[in-house]
Amino acid sequence: MSVLIVASHPDDEVLGCGGTIMRHVRNDERVTVAILGEGVTSRQPTVRETSIQSLSDLRDAAREAATQLGVTDLRLFDYPDNRFDTVELLDLVRTVEEIIADVKPHTVYCQHGGDLNIDHQLTFRAVLTATRPQPGQVAKRLYTWSTRSATEWTFGSISPVFVPRLFVDISSTLQDKLEALSIYGNELRPWPHSRSLQAIEAACRSNGAKVGLEAAEVFDVIRIID
């Protein structure tokens, strides 16, 4: 079985589903991680002020995190950070369509469409369009994940509201997720920030406790064709 993870920025893939990725890998499923945005240039007043080194460092971290999770097929793109709304949605859709045509995923995970971050919203739109269930569509399952400091910070005020319907047991892979996140050291924040390691672990354990597990990652179910 082939699984596709589509993220907006480097670290989103681990924040949302690092433990789940590791489970798929351990089940000998083929996992492709596609990261659409470069993830850096919005941090400076102008794109030109962003150093080549910071872009390179973040890409290197993405590769190292993928290795930590056992992912051998990582695809990095360079859509502008926090500026996906400045490119044609069709370009995003075609990028995702090309990946789907290549890897033929049975299951697709992407970011939630009601997130605070515009790139997450448009990634969801692109994936939803690219996986539309027309005859011959290979993607049978589509899930969205909750991203720390992007999903919960909407406080349910942006539609669609994230509703956790799928709880994936990551009791045995939580440590792998945290170690992969530690590779993205520049993306993490100190406690009590929502994107601190402590907050991330607490959220996973809280989600697990809701369904009698040590730890869980949660997903909204967009579509299942069985």
Distance between CA atoms of residues 38 and 189, nearest Å? 19
Give this prediction's pTM: 0.96
Of the candidates 60, 71, 52, the residue with the CA atom closest to the CA atom of residue 10: 60
Predicted confidence (pLDDT) per residue in 107-164, tens digit: 999 999 999 999 999 999 999 999 999 999 999 999 999 999 999 999 999 999 999 9
Distance between CA atoms of residues 223 and 132, nearest Å? 10
Phi, psi of 175 (to 5 degrees): -65, -40
Give the number of other CB atoms < 10 A from CB of residue 3: 24
Query: Residue 74 forms beta bridges with which residues?
Result: 33
Q: pLDDT category, 41, cuts 50, 70, 90?
A: confident
| 2-224 under CATH 3.40.50.300, yes or no | no
Q: Please give the pLDDT value at position 202.
A: 98
Domain range annotation of the chain: 2-224
Query: Residue 77 forms beta bridges with which residues?
Result: none
Predicted confidence (pLDDT) per residue in 185-203, tens digit: 988 999 999 999 999 999 9
